[in-house]
Amino acid sequence: MKYDMLHIYRKQAYRHSIVQVVTLLILSLFWLLLDTKAAFISVLCGGVVWILPHLLFTWRVFGNKKDEFPHAIIRDFFTGEMLKLVSCAFLVILAVKYYSVQAIPFLCGMAIVIAAPWFFVVFIYSRKLNL
């Protein structure tokens, strides 16, 4: 993979992170208007539990390197994915243990943040294709 392609994928990965943060902020503010402050914090915790590991994955896979070897890219991808899953599980345990998170807002925050980049991609491409 040439450096130019790696640069394009790095921009896309960080764009996904920005979409996740914006979605989390909108969802948490919406939840604050509808429910209590505890639910608001639960939504924020649920989103952060996924966003931080995703940023760790992005940094690991698309860091400032110029590897063009396919085996190095695959190795970095699987290492980054493993770090993302382990750190996500660790953050879930921390959030549940040290914060009095409410289950439904916590899971909604996490699920919406996970799904946000997929919906964003569908929205962008449906506009480009005039669907």
* Average pLDDT value over all residues in the chain: 84
| Per-residue pLDDT, 60 | 81
Q: Is the pLDDT of residue 49 over 90?
A: yes
pLDDT in tens, 70-126: 787 788 889 889 999 999 999 999 999 988 889 999 999 999 998 888 888 787 777
Residues 6+ apart with CB under 8 A from 18: none
- In the block, which residue shows the tokens 């995703």? 54
Helix (H, G, I), strand (E, B) or coil at 107: helix
Half-sphere exposure of 105 (CA within 13 A, CB side): 24
Question: What range does the domain containing 122 cover?
Answer: 3-128
**How much is the CA Rg of the chain, to the nearest whole Å?**
17
Confidence of residue 47 (pLDDT cuts 50, 70, 90): very high
How many domains is the chain built from? 1
